[in-house]
Amino acid sequence: MAAQTMEQLVSLCKRRGFIFPGSAVYGGLQGTYDYGPLGVELKNNLKLAWWRANVWEREDMEGIDAAILMNKLTWRYSGHEETFVDPMVDCKNCKMRWRADQISGKCPNCASTELTEPRPFNLMFKTQIGPVPDPESFSYLRPETAQGIFVNFKHVLDSTSRKLPFGIAQIGKAFRNEITPRNFIFRVREFEQMEIEFFVRPGEDEAWHKKWVEDRINWWLSVGLSRENLEPYHQKPNELAHYAKATVDLLYRFPHGLEELEGIANRTDYDLGSHSKDQGSLGLKARVSPNSHSTDKLTYFDPETKQHVVPFVIEPSAGVDRGVLALLSEAYAEEQVKPAPVDRLKPVEEALGTFLKSVGRNEKLPAQAKEALLAEGERIAQSLGERLPSIAGLLSMPGAEGIEVAKKLRGQVDPVIDEFYRTVLHFKPHLAPIKVAVLPLKKNHPEIVSTAKSIRRKLQSTGAMRIVYDDTGAIGKLYRRQDEIGTPFCITVDFDTLGEGKDAALKNTVTVRHRDSMAQERVAISELEAYLREKMQ
């Protein structure tokens, strides 16, 4: 299981309406993506699962939603103005700009080794505040949600009378002017974060850090990631951010490699200390810049010791978009429903061979597109029996549409995919964008249609799940379409439902078809809601 390549996911996401490239009608805007009808459901479900586990189901957490725009002094004292910089190099030949630590002395675009010396580049987007173009009236789009939590620490404390240890959770947009956005929604310029700042007594920080690492791994497992694809990485002392005492990155095996999904840092008393006035009186452990602007001391009065302390902070910080990518990748599978006979595979094999030859010979194709098409095409050809559905993805890759014989290949492959294969997203039911598809066996049979629609309306009225009605094809095809978007249950209304089948006892029952096992069972219409709610748990 799991996706083998990013192309498989990009293609499915675009084709079925999960994720689209941003501003496409104007040629796009690098590093931005738009979530479509299914993507927004998936993303909302992921955020809700996080909120549920970290706010609703805990006794030691509050939530907030702070403004994206903050007083620019926030970013001075948080350290972002000075330190939120990546060393960057420009290619003297093609003028592209790269992060120095991500290339090995060679331009990934044109392979030139003529690069400038690395220079710091601030990743924050600067933006004008107010109508007058005064050089002082600016701020930044927040590059992380965390600072909105720190500056509200006192507000939350005073309004809720919380005692240590407790946390504040927030989900929201963050913006970084990444030098080289890439790998689909993995590294983008506008993204969402799910962050917790968990405040503890100094001295209890190491135990809480350890606990949070375990909690966060368990949560990612609960949304469906598998343990073998998750790897905690303990940062080495020379890799730690200036504010961190210890950081554990949770790495995930994405299609493009093992990379960070979430970071869990012990930030000590750096943040609350940095945003406080009278820092000298606070007994801070962290080294902070003197703050001459803050109007408050971000401290906690400990009723046990009768002393004011600056709590230490444990920060589990996860990317929503990287989470969505991990879910898609983990859930993705191409499965053979029944073995395709050799005489059906042979013509596809030939058409694929012709297509790849044509790609190889094509002089108009940009080198990058050609290379990607050939690599993906050859990977498919090597184990055609198993990988055949990937041809749909291959044909939607950049450059494929301009290849003359692509149509012929599609004509050969589509019927074989329809008959012998399926692409499935094995999402956990609570994350699936659509929970139930109601399907009429016959779309021109008024009674079947009206029964199906009334089931749809009834389930919809519970407000508990997203339901769709679909009558745009034969039932087998409709099942495949729902498998491909991860719908866990299909409900089919047929002649038995109306009491017109062979078995009169099946009157007022429907077929419930399960996505993963493809098993079918009969369930009474009157019991459907309870049945689905139980399965959705």
Angle (CA) 147-148-152 rounded to 5° is 110
With contacts defined by CB under 6 A, name the span among 199-207, 284-292, 318-326, 392-400 that binds ligand ATP: 318-326
Q: 20 forms bridges with which residues in the sheet? A: 34
Shortest CA distance to 146 belongs to which of 171, 119, 129, 177? 171
With contacts defined by CB under 6 A, name the span among 16-24, 114-122, 319-327, 356-364 that binds ligand ATP: 319-327
Whether residue 321 is annotated as binding a ligand: the answer is yes
How far apart, in whole angstroms, are the C-alpha atoms of residue 257 and residue 261?
12
Q: Does 261 bind ligand ATP (CB under 6 A)?
A: yes
Whether residue 122 is annotated as binding a ligand: the answer is no
Q: How far is CA 477 from CA 38, 103, 339, 426, in A?
A: 19, 45, 18, 18
Whether residue 362 is annotated as binding a ligand: the answer is no
Q: Closer CB to ligand ATP, residue 320 or residue 373?
A: 320
Q: Does 123 bind ligand ATP (CB under 6 A)?
A: no
Q: Closer CB to ligand ATP, residue 186 or residue 355?
A: 186
Q: In this structure, what are the phi and psi dihedrals at residue 73, rounded to the nearest 5 degrees?
A: -65, -30
> Minimum Å distance from CB 69 to ligand ATP?
19
Locus of tokens 């939120």: 84
How far apart, in whole angstroms, are the C-alpha atoms of residue 36 and residue 16?
9
> Minimum Å distance from CB 181 to ligand ATP?
7
> Minimum Å distance from CB 71 to ligand ATP?
21
What region, left, alpha or beta, does residue 27 occupy, with left being phi > 0 and alpha being psi -120 to 50 degrees? left
How far apart, in whole angstroms, are the C-alpha atoms of residue 378 and residue 398?
16
With contacts defined by CB under 6 A, name the span among 67-75, 113-121, 186-194, 327-335 that binds ligand ATP: 186-194
> Minimum Å distance from CB 64 to ligand ATP?
18
Q: Closer CB to ligand ATP, residue 178 or residue 484?
A: 178
Whether residue 186 is annotated as binding a ligand: the answer is yes
Helix (H) / strand (E) containing 346: helix 342-361
**What contacts 24+ positions apart, CB below 8 Å, involve 460-467?**
462/529, 464/533, 464/536, 465/435, 465/436, 465/532, 465/536, 466/41, 466/433, 466/434, 466/435, 467/434, 467/435, 467/436, 467/437, 467/438
Closest-approach residue to ligand ATP (CB): 319
With contacts defined by CB under 6 A, name the span among 15-23, 198-206, 260-268, 475-483 that binds ligand ATP: 260-268
Q: Does 260 bind ligand ATP (CB under 6 A)?
A: yes
Per CB under 6 A, the list member of 5, 152, 170, 193 interacting with ligand ATP is 193
With contacts defined by CB under 6 A, name the span among 22-30, 162-170, 256-264, 391-399 that binds ligand ATP: 256-264
Q: Closer CB to ligand ATP, residue 320 or residue 409?
A: 320
Which two three-digit tokens encode residue 317?
Answer: 């910080």
> Minimum Å distance from CB 195 to ligand ATP?
7
Shortest CA distance to 125 belongs to which of 142, 137, 145, 148? 142
Q: Are 205 and 245 in contact (CB under 8 A)?
A: yes
Per CB under 6 A, the list member of 209, 267, 322, 481 interacting with ligand ATP is 322
Per CB under 6 A, the list member of 16, 80, 142, 176 interacting with ligand ATP is 176
Whether residue 41 is annotated as binding a ligand: the answer is no
Per CB under 6 A, the list member of 7, 62, 205, 262 interacting with ligand ATP is 262
Percent helix / strand / coil, the chain, rounded to 5: 40, 25, 35
Shortest CA distance to 32 belongs to which of 42, 20, 43? 20
Q: Does 263 bind ligand ATP (CB under 6 A)?
A: yes
Q: How far is CA 418 from the centre of its chain?
A: 29
Whether residue 150 is annotated as binding a ligand: the answer is no
Q: How far is CA 148 from the centre of its chain?
A: 22
Q: Are 415 and 443 in contact (CB under 8 A)?
A: no
Whether residue 316 is annotated as binding a ligand: the answer is yes
Q: In this structure, what are the phi and psi dihedrals at residue 187, rounded to the nearest 5 degrees?
A: -125, 105
Whether residue 187 is annotated as binding a ligand: the answer is yes
Per CB under 6 A, the list member of 7, 41, 62, 178 interacting with ligand ATP is 178
Shortest CA distance to 77 belongs to which of 299, 285, 311, 272? 272
Q: Does 271 bind ligand ATP (CB under 6 A)?
A: no
Q: Does 315 bind ligand ATP (CB under 6 A)?
A: no
Whether residue 296 is annotated as binding a ligand: the answer is no
- Round to the nearest angstrom and report the end-to-end CA distance of the chain: 23
Q: Is 7 helix (H, G, I), strand (E, B) or coil?
A: helix
> Minimum Å distance from CB 145 to ligand ATP?
9
Q: Does 436 bind ligand ATP (CB under 6 A)?
A: no
How far apart, in whole angstroms, are the C-alpha atoms of residue 431 and residue 19?
16
How far apart, in whole angstroms, are the C-alpha atoms of residue 473 and residue 306?
71
Whether residue 144 is annotated as binding a ligand: the answer is yes
Whether residue 334 is annotated as binding a ligand: the answer is no
Per CB under 6 A, the list member of 321, 334, 484, 494 interacting with ligand ATP is 321
Q: Does 188 bind ligand ATP (CB under 6 A)?
A: yes
With contacts defined by CB under 6 A, name the span among 133-141, 184-192, 212-220, 304-312 that binds ligand ATP: 184-192
Write the CB contacts of 186 (distance below 8 Å, at least 6 apart in sequence).
254, 256, 259, 321, 322, 325
Whether residue 99 is annotated as binding a ligand: the answer is yes
Strands 19-21 and 126-128, bridge-based pairing: unpaired
Dihedral sign for Cα 139, 141, 146, 148, please: positive
Q: Count the site residues for ligand ATP by CB under 6 A.
A: 16
Whether residue 318 is annotated as binding a ligand: the answer is yes
> Minimum Å distance from CB 86 to ligand ATP?
8
Q: Which segments are annotated as binding site for substrate? A: 99, 144, 191-195, 315-319
Q: Which residues bind ligand ATP (CB under 6 A)?
A: 144, 176, 178, 187-188, 191, 193, 260-263, 317-319, 321-322
Q: Which segments are annotated as binding site for ATP? A: 176-178, 186-191, 260-261, 319-322
Q: Which segments are annotated as binding site? A: 99, 144, 176-178, 186-195, 260-261, 315-322
